[in-house]
Amino acid sequence: MAETQPVEEKEPNPYNAKKSWHVPDNKVPENADGLFFAPTEEQATPSEESETPPEKSKRVNYKKRYDDLKKHYDNRLSEFKQREQELLSDAASKAPAYKAPKSLE
């Protein structure tokens, strides 16, 4: 039997943590305060342009919107019904005034 040489398998890298271009920093923060930075004055003060509260500018009056939509729907419905009545009356007026005879004569 021919002996097979053992195949050297590489260690799997599930999260791309050991890429050849990856260089660890070796810098371990001592505590969480080292990661904090104080905001600058520009970030700390709100701008003067946005004095209106965002709640009022984004508030929607749903009752008024519903009323407007209902009013529009009712107006369109009445227009369609009126147009239907006009067409039926035109068709009735243009119908021939012909009476069918009751006997063969």
- For residue range 13-35, list pLDDT tens digits in order: 667 666 666 666 666 666 666 66
- State the average pLDDT for the chain: 76
88 pLDDT higher than 80: yes
As a whole-number percent, the residues of the chain with pLDDT over 70 amount to 53
Write down the pLDDT at residue 18.
60
Q: What is the pLDDT of residues 53-74, one digit of tens each?
A: 556 667 889 999 999 999 999 9
Q: Which pLDDT score, from 0 to 100, does residue 14 have?
A: 65
Q: Tokens at residue 60, please?
A: 């929607």
